[in-house]
Structures are given as structure tokens and as C-alpha cells.
Chains A and B, each alone.
Chain A
Amino acid sequence: MTKSIRALLGATALTATAFAASAETLTIATVNNGDMIRMQGLTADFTAKTGHEVEWVTLEENVLRQRVTTDISTKGGAFDIMTIGMYETPIWGANGWLVALDDLSEEYDAADILPAMAGGLSHDGTLYAAPFYGESSMIMYRTDLMEKAGLEMPEAPTWTFIREAAAAMTDRDADINGICLRGKAGWGEGGAFITAMSNSFGARWFDMDWNAQFDTEAWANTLNFYKGMMDESGPAGYATNGFNENLSLFQQGKCGMWIDATVAASFVTNPNDSTVADSVGFALAPDNGLGKRSNWLWAWALAIPAGSQKADAAKQFVEWATSKDYIELVAANEGWANVPPGARTSLYENPNYMEVPFAKMTLQSILSADPNNSTVEESPYVGVQFAAIPEFAGIATDVSQEFSAAYAGQQTIEEALEKAQAITNDAMEAAGYR
């Protein structure tokens, strides 16, 4: 063996040892949505590139929020990376609980992140979480049922049209509901939907003095319209349906229309999962002629808790999972329709992706949602389907429980709104806003 070969072998052994020594095991908390599950399947690519292992803690949306909030607020240190959203990021960033992501590599191209996403995931202009995927909400509908009902879906329909179309598509004997919408209690479930819907009816959570606004006609109109339409054309037990329940119903062919996250488009058009994959159309979320549509704005993003012992490795993972290369990796493995959408401008400049049937509508929906100006009347909060204040999650969960009880017929809409008004004002007073 020559000297040089021996030296080369030695160097290789040394590199391998160093690689193994610096390799970390990252614990990542994430939500059980399809895109995250797909990411878990591709983790081997990250491990091959960096040597770091990954342990996943996959949780249902409501549970994930509680787990990560508890962990970070008590400095539990259970996770190296957390999947959080646009609600948590600015609040946690302001509290100094997250590692700032202002030093990501050049190849990562942070400037490519869609401005709406970067804005919602920043505090004071600093990015605190990298968007894995971004979403708005839109209408997904069955083109065959629409045709059967003799109707044509406009690109930007009104709520009146949607209610009529839902009634026309409903066929109880065939187990087809005209429309499936979230009614499940939880601020990020039914609470998010009804808040976004209420914007288009001219409602808002608070006036400029942080007084609750549930005693207004706009909120009564929102809930009466929602319940009226769902009782006429919604599935049985809609008061307990959230994103996953409605996704399953739509994929089984039991919904004529579904207004929900744009990210669901890839699941309902995937023939492996959906029985109606080849007959799904898309349209903007409805409006009411008041200048605001009922679509929301959200991003599921990856953030690193401040004080993490594995911040460098965690940053490597965040870069890997939210990079352009990851998008290419998914496209190569699963096709362009399945890449995580809504996070990067370059994706919507890619001709391959723009051929995907829902790409244009997703971008249009994202661009039409403005978290800084989400309500018809002026409001003091930022956020479309939430108000970005720490107290909101608790209040909105209580309020959405009252709404769900009204949907289920356990109380009237008036009773639910009265309780919502009292709950919200009490909590805001206790928190020192009023």
C-alpha cells in the first residue's frame, strides 16, 4: 500500500469519525397532515446528506399546538424543532422563545419566500420560522355534480350562489351532501373557518377598544347563514367535523363542495386516495359583496426553540425541509402535484408546477388574503382567521365550543352569541385589554 493511499484511508476514517461524532438526533414535533407525513418518508435524504438522525413526534393539530406551547412556555426542551403556524410565530418571536432565522445560507434563498408568508412568520422584520407550506382556503367542488345540477361555478362566487348550489347538489338518498364545512370545536378548527367566513359578512372579533363584537348583526348573520346552509345541505354531525373528517368525506365522494385549506387540493386530486380525483374543480372562497372574501392565510412552518442544544443541526434540517431542493426531491419522487405549496415564489414561476390544476387558484387565494386588513370595519388585530394576541387561542376555543353546540341544536344561535360575547369580554378584561 502506497503512502498516499494509506493517508487517504486515514483521512477517510478520520472524516467518518468526525461525521459520526458531530451527528445529532433531532426530535421534531409535527402535525399529522399529508405533506408532513410525506416529509417523514424522505428523511433518509437528510440523514444521508448531514449524518443527523431524526425522531418524529406526529400529532393531531389541536394536540400539537398544546404540546409545543406547553413545552416552549415551560422551557421543557422536549423538541429541537417545532411545527408551528402564523399565530404562534410572531408572539413567540416577540417573547424571545425562538431562534432567529436571519442567517440562512445563500443557496437557501430566503428572499424567495412569498412575502405574505415571510411577513406572517416574522416579528419586527426578523424571520422566526421557515414556511414548510403556505395555504389559504378555497372552494373544492365536484365538477360532475355541478354539471348534473345544471350550474356553473364562477371563479369568484358569492355565498348566495354557494348556498343555492349546495342545495341543488344535495342528494340524501345517494349519501351526497351539497357542502362540507368545519364545525368542530377548537380555535384552529371550526373557529378558524367561521372567523374567516365572518370577515366576508362584515363581522370582526373586536372593535378598536378591544370590545367583543358578537352582539352585532354581522355575527348573527354569519352564524344563521352557516347553520341554515349546513342544516339544509351539510353532512350529518357536521358540528364534530374538522379538516380530516371533511377530507375523508370529500375523498369518499360524499361532498359536493368543500371550502378548506388550499393544501387539501393535492389530496382530493390524488387518485390513490380520492375516489373523485378526476372530477374536482377549484374556485376562490365566497364573498358577500362587502369587499372581503372568506379565505384565510396560514403557514405551517418549522421553528427552533431558543436555547436549543442542537440549534446548528436543527437549522440544517429547517433549511433542508423548506428549501427549493426539497421541493425538487418531492417532485421527483411523487410528482409536482404533491410538492408542499404556497411557500416560495419560484414554485409559481415553475412551468411544471403551473400545469397542476390547483396551482393558480392557490396562489390567487394566498395573495388575496391580507392579515393586516382582514375585516370590513377597522380592527385592532393582525390575522385573518385569528387575532394574533396570546389570549386568542383560549378565548376562541371556548367561543367555538358554544358555536358547535349551536350547530348541533343544543342551544340557539342567539344564546351562543350571548355566551361568546360574555366569555370574550371577561377574558379581555382579565387580561387588561379593556
Chain B
Amino acid sequence: MATKQSRSAARMMMAPAVTLLLGWMLVPLIMTLYFSFRDYRPLSGGDRGWVGFDNYMRFVTSSAFWPSVQTTLVIVGGVLVITVCLGILLAILLDQPMWGQGVVRILVIAPFFVMPTVSALVWKNMFMDPTNGLLAHLWRFFGAEPVQWLSQASLPSLIMIVSWQWLPFATLILLTAIQSLDSEQLEAAEMDGAPSLKRFWYIILPHLSRAITIVVLIQTIFLLGLFAEIFVTTGGAFGTKTLSYLIFQRVLESQNIGLGSAGGVYAIILANIVAIFLMRIVGKNLDA
């Protein structure tokens, strides 16, 4: 049992690390807040002083703001639905005894190790290019006009690329969960004559609920900041400008640090709203 002295010694020893970590998190946050109240444009006059809530008003009333929030939510929602549904399917398949199971599992997980920029470039140039892409050749082989993926089906294309990257993560978590399922329970249900669909619905799916919650939470956090894939494929055109991309444009293209920082604060608020909403709806599974 820890004594009073040993507890305070532990606190003393942890203090530097804790301070460093807090600073690490707080300094950028405070700087973002600070700049969001200033008219700071490095290319034209630098820091031109305090402007109150002007940047916040301008950012939220700009014509690009609400469409960017909507695009962000559509992409996050689309990727979550695809990765969770296909993830469950793949996890069940990979759990079945099969020849070369280890190799198949590695292949399924492989996309997760590819850098986002690289995978976006591969999809853009090798698959989705309407002249030289593999899909264009496939479409032509069947006598159809190739699809101009990134310009005419931009959001579905992006969702497809990002889902491909995140599916292995979902599959891995869900596979681990399935493997922890008590096989006797399934066998008993089978002996009682429960069809496979009902076994899935009443036994497997409830068992997976915690894993699904983790997948949804973690993926949501990462997907809200989605950037590289948009930068590489569409450059924010064709209705693919997410909130994080809009902030990037305001800070780097327009060189308006104040406006971009205000956008950053909105992004933090949006991320928290989504996180709280998710925790309330699905997070209760974690308590079980």
C-alpha cells in the first residue's frame, strides 16, 4: 500500500512528463484560439491586430461553410457504413477454416499499411483514370462508356478510396471480437434448429456490438480530419471540400491564418459534437 510520501514522490516524478504532454496539447490549441481573433495575413501586412469575432462570423457565413460540413458528414457516414458492414462480412468469412488462411488474412489487412497519399494516387491514376485506368478498360471491354469517377462521381469515389483503406482496420477489430465468441453457444443454437441468419442476428451481432462501437469511434475521429485523399484526387473540387480541406485552403491558399484558425475552432467544436453524439448513442455499449 502506497504511503503518503511514496504517492507524492510518484507525483513529483510524473510531473515533468505530464507538464510536457499538457503543453504539447495546449500550446497549439491556445495559438489557434489566439490567432482566430486576429487579422493575420502573412502575405499582405502580417498581423493586423485584434478583430474580435469577425473571423468566426466570416467563416460561418461564407458560402463554402455549410456544404463543407455536409460533405464531411456524408464522407464519414458513407465510410462507416461500408467499413462496418463489409468488415463484419469479411470477419465472419476469415473466421472460417480455410486453406491459406494466414496469407488471406495478411492480404485483407495489407491496404491499411499503404500511406493515404500513395493509395489515393494509385486509385486516381491506375484505377479511376478515365483514359488509361483499369476500370476504364474494363468498362470499354463490356462496351460501356468509361465513368469519369473523380469528376462525375466524386463523393462516391472518395468514399470508395477511403473505405478501402479503413476496411482492414474494421475487419481486424471485428475478427478479434468474433474469435472471442463462445463456440458452444453457437453450436447449441444450431442444434436447437436456429437458422444461420438468426444465429447471426441474435448471437453474433450483439456479441460484436462493443467492437463495432470501437470501430465507429476511432474511425470517426480520424475521418473527420480526412485530407490527403482529397488533396491528391480532386483538390477540393467537385463538391469534395470537407471542413478540414476548407481550413487548409483558407490558411495555405488564401494565407489567412486568422480565418483558418476560426475554422479550426469550428472543426474542434464539430468533432466534439459528433463524439458526444456517438458516445451517447453507441458508447453505452462500452459500459456493458
Contacts and interface: CB of A to CB of B under 8 A. Distances in A.
B129 to A, nearest CB: 7
Top-3 shortest CB links A-B: A394-B254, A73-B42, A408-B151
Interface string B111-124: 00000000000000
A254 B150 CA distance: 20
Contacts of B43: 69, 73, 91, 95, 390-391
Contacts of B44: 390-391, 431
Interface string A399-425: 011001101111000000001001100
Given A237-B130, A394-B250, A408-B148, A401 B235 contact: yes
Contacts of B253: 66, 187, 393-394, 397-398
A237 B253 CA distance: 25
Interface stretch (B93-101, B196-204, B236-244): B236-244
Interface residues of B, number: 33
Interface in A230-287: 235-237, 239-240, 249, 254
A390 B64 CA distance: 21
A249 B131 contact: yes
B71 interface: no
Contacts of A74: 42
A376 interface: no
B3 interface: no
Contacts of B150: 237, 240
A427 B254 contact: yes
A52 B177 CA distance: 58
Nearest to B43: A390
Nearest to B39: A430
Contacts of A398: 64, 249, 253
A185 interface: yes
Interface of B: 41-44, 58, 62-64, 129-131, 136, 146, 148-152, 154, 234-239, 241, 249-250, 252-256
A186 interface: yes
Contacts of B241: 401
B63 to A, nearest CB: 6
B255 A69 contact: yes
A367 interface: no
B255 A184 contact: no
A70 interface: yes
Contacts of B146: 236
Given A236-B146, A391-B44, A423-B63, A185 B234 contact: yes
A316 to B, nearest CB: 29
Contacts of B148: 236-237, 239-240, 408
A395 interface: yes
6 contacts: A66-B253, A70-B252, A236-B130, A236-B146, A237-B131, A240-B150
A217 interface: no
A244 to B, nearest CB: 10
Given A91-B43, A236-B146, A408-B154, 11 more contacts: A69-B43, A69-B252, A236-B136, A239-B237, A393-B255, A394-B255, A395-B254, A405-B237, A408-B148, A426-B63, A430-B58
Contact of B151 (A240, A391, A394, A430): A240
A73 B130 CA distance: 38
A32 interface: no
A420 B201 CA distance: 51
A212 B148 CA distance: 32
B69 to A, nearest CB: 17
A398 B42 CA distance: 19
A95 B239 CA distance: 35
Contacts of A397: 236, 249, 253
Q: Which of A73, A186, A395, A408 counts the most chain B CB atoms within 10 A?
A: A408
A160 interface: no
B27 to A, nearest CB: 15
B159 to A, nearest CB: 16
Nearest to A422: B63
A149 B63 CA distance: 47
Nearest to A72: B42
Nearest to A430: B58
Given A240-B150, A393-B253, A394-B249, A404 B237 contact: yes
Contacts of A105: none
Contacts of A409: 152
A69 B237 CA distance: 22
Given A236-B130, A431-B44, A404 B249 contact: no
A62 interface: yes
Contacts of A410: 151-152, 154, 238-239
Q: Which of B44, B131, B136 counts the most chain A CB atoms within 10 A?
A: B131
Contacts of A240: 148, 150-151, 234
A426 B43 CA distance: 18
Contacts of A185: 234-237
B153 to A, nearest CB: 10
Q: Which of B64, B149, B237, B255 counts the most chain A CB atoms within 10 A?
A: B237
A235 B130 CA distance: 9
A233 to B, nearest CB: 14
B252 A404 contact: no
A175 B130 CA distance: 12
A390 B255 contact: yes
A66 B256 CA distance: 13
A235 B110 CA distance: 34
A404 B151 contact: yes
A409 B250 CA distance: 26
Contacts of A423: 63
Given A73-B42, A410-B152, A393 B237 contact: no
A69 B41 CA distance: 12
Nearest to A403: B237
Interface in A291-341: none
A419 B253 CA distance: 18
Contacts of A73: 42-43, 255
A145 B255 CA distance: 45
A214 to B, nearest CB: 14
A62 B231 CA distance: 10
A405 B239 contact: yes
Nearest to B58: A430
Interface string A82-94: 0000000001000
Contacts of A236: 130-131, 136, 146, 148
A236 B239 CA distance: 19
